[in-house]
Structure 1
């Protein structure tokens, strides 16, 4: 039990005053206390994290908060290993174990013997980078040792406590502690821009207070002059501004491990997410990296010259990553390395005129990491890692054909994964900037146009998509030719959009022509030919030619299963279409079995909220209603409609289709009033979204009239 009142300090104490603005970190502090109190690792804990993350402040707060558990608390600045010994010896003098002037070795030996025989002491080694330089001063025994470090490798002498950036609510609280007049919204904007790094938050609060700068102006300055901004502003209890700390670490890294600095520079142009080391190794073996050894602008002394070593000495690259982590410029992940966004900003500023060249090489890293076909679910995990980095290298400003291809594939991937909003944002930027740079007839401009048209189509913006298809199709036919794969993919998408706009016969004619060309050029089993066949069958179904649609869907599904496998999204889409045809033909039990299997596969492969899953659930609900299984249909359709509203919004055409289908089930269950309310709302939205003359709008109007008749209105 403690021998003093809580809040009092021990007689032997040299810790800096407690930071009155310290905010949050309760979880880390509680975990640290639990770890030290159990003594399971000999009472030695290492707080590890990047520079500016608040390790020292946490250590000070721990010492102050739990001071009454100790009789001795001694702080040791451990950045320079050569100066540790005299600080440890000073504790021996403070405890009257040695006379002033006693040589360090004698004083430390006496101190260690003394501490090993008692508890209730805490030593803090702050800002330690050298494990060996700290290990020899540890006394052992039942007391506690706390180490703060940017470096790793403490496992042999300490348990590591990772220190990450602050939680967002903690960041907001810290900013508002320093600047009470900040609104929660402005504080949140600042915290997001500063990525919740405590030192940056402290500086931002100081800068705003000292310069009367508005939050919006500060964010603009941060974006354009990161180093200058991160040099200014009171840092509170932090020893140096963030920019200065980063610059110091980069200077040390340049001296100790130039390859590590090259890694940091390259990663500064990627996203503040994990960069897999195997990407860096692949780049090291590339032609671009080998060119760094050649005479010219990339000769030794250039910003990435040291990366040439990675080709002949891959171990050196791993060592370089470790050096960057050890000096606090990066954080290691399970398979790579990550830079904080503010570290990235300062490093980019330091490069000056060399920045464009380093960005070009960062783009090359991503081209080499290209995941492959964005329609193949096997590539999606890799795409999820690549896309944030791709967005960081400004693909719209690229003239590399390879990077442009990668950017278009990324936009297509985003739509495949159900994020058509993000796909549209990317495609708009690519199309606008590439058109300005290369003209409207450029091949990649046409690809970006196709990506954008599809994204609009998936969002239910059929008229906007139509305008894009109408503008792009003649250009592609003229520039690339009638049978170019790009032209055919545009025609295929245009035909789908025509069907969704209710122009079923036009869609059928265009899709039939496209399918014939695909089969002649690529064969019947090519995925693009199968896509075209699948949608031609959907056209036939929309025209009421259900038996023809069933035959074509059946043939196409068999080919899909053989070529792409049972769980590919296109296979499951085809299966869902075939089940709908069977249901339309009155073959309800066959349809139910196929629907049930398809929905289960979609849920397992894509999750409950995927467009693939929701379409399958909607179709299955209709078949259950036709089978008379009204309670099952009701439960499934109600849930599906709720998900569509949440995922796509109330007015998306697919939401309206599901609302219409659900109203039919409600009417069949005798819930005519609810069916009327739902259908009336859906009809009003359909007139607004699809137009009064769209076949689906007219069908909805007829169904509403039927409901009103049932109600006697």
Structure 2
């Protein structure tokens, strides 16, 4: 976890330094700085709606009202509500298709990416990237700024908030549908929400639309849509078994789709509608005690569990890589988060619960496992911003997690290990994984277990990465108090909590309180005979940053120098903690006007990053950018321009034209006269 960082009060370049896992990140405070995307980094997200898998069945009245709103908005948000898997997202997808066919832009927002997505919406409507980056660290002002652009749009739009099932995450103490939150109505466009929460008092003043299970006459058509190998003529009779199967599946769209895909993909093993009906009748009736009372939600969850079991245990071999991979994806893809396929590389999964059998795990093994899961609609695979990703329906992910059994903690450990390998690169997915893992740990281990508290600490840090410092502060305090109570004041995890709170207080500008916490952490390290411990070095580095934030650059340079010498001796020149201190020294030298020294230090950092991460890793690209920018300031304009052009080419190819790092490089090139202004 990153525990030493800087925000806000330091002019010039900002360096986030000192992490337990993940690379060192450098940020810039203005467009003229060379080193990154500014405090409150704006993550790259997709605003594209997912593709509709088949024709929409039923929902005629809802679609008629919503379609009319596309061209004549009435200023009132709409909420599609119902049980999980009943088709709320399908209705939203169908409306998105209608909007796009009319030339109306569609912005599709997932709750885990709320602020970043809304800032990108504003950018697409004409807002500047500079403003978006600035507001990314200010949630309330970001909301206001984004909605100013939405309200001012001269053309209608459709804004979809999909799967807002955990309303407390976005309510900020108020009503999610209120006029000051993310969910607002507008006369300029249409706002649509899908949620399992159907209480009007939660969403007021929105208008509510219940999405109920489909009637059997439409259910059987959905089942046929997904079961048929080729399109079926409307006059073709539907077998009796299909009607019975559709009725058994209770009009639940997700269940109909899953079973339909199984019938299509396994025509011999299942023997069509009849075989699926026979299997599910036995399974469902066996799980339903005579006279048992249950709610509609319980019945639907039981149904989906049996369909899940039918999909997994009947058609995925017990020793297949697909089963454990599905379990890991149920954590990484929590609440609909997309998982980049690169995170699932065979070398990353080697030694994990996916690596079963006697032969070494290969890329072909992982590909086959993904195809097995996709062919059963347990996952979907699509590109997001040009990168292959994997996603899971939230209900499928929840049902999968319910089947973990005594493997629950092993699955959590495997998922967390994948996150740790490249922490900080896919923030939405990482936060989702920690959230799902925390739920599992709380149930299996208990709220006060050290591992549960560690995961809670990482989730609190995720709030800071989103710029929500005020929300993070009580979490950091609560975690510290819990560790004191459970583990004692001198336990290593408690000392880590002191350092984490100190770092957060420094982020919030409370340097005096931050310094007190850092010094307390150092005293505790001394009691533990850990004066040379990595954590003690992080505390000392935090104190050096506080000196820098106060403008005491000479003192900060001396303090960083001492930390650097100790890290060189203890860890070596290539360790990420050593590099983080070297990065800080380069920043100090630059701030003091010693550009030759800064250039030499940045070149050393670049060499190390190219050696350990490769030339096109985002952290390496930032270091290449820094060395180019410094070269320009030293008068080597031709060299600087050539280097910046090289960086820009890689950023455009790997990050996209509108990524903050790409925009900053283009802007620095414009300052050198190399290209036109990006604005």
Task: Give the number of the structure whose alpha-carbon radius of gyration is greater.
Answer: 1
User: Structure 2 length normalisation: TM-score?
Assistant: 0.44
With a CA cutoff of 8 Å and minimum separation of 6, indicate the structure with the bigger relative contact order.
2
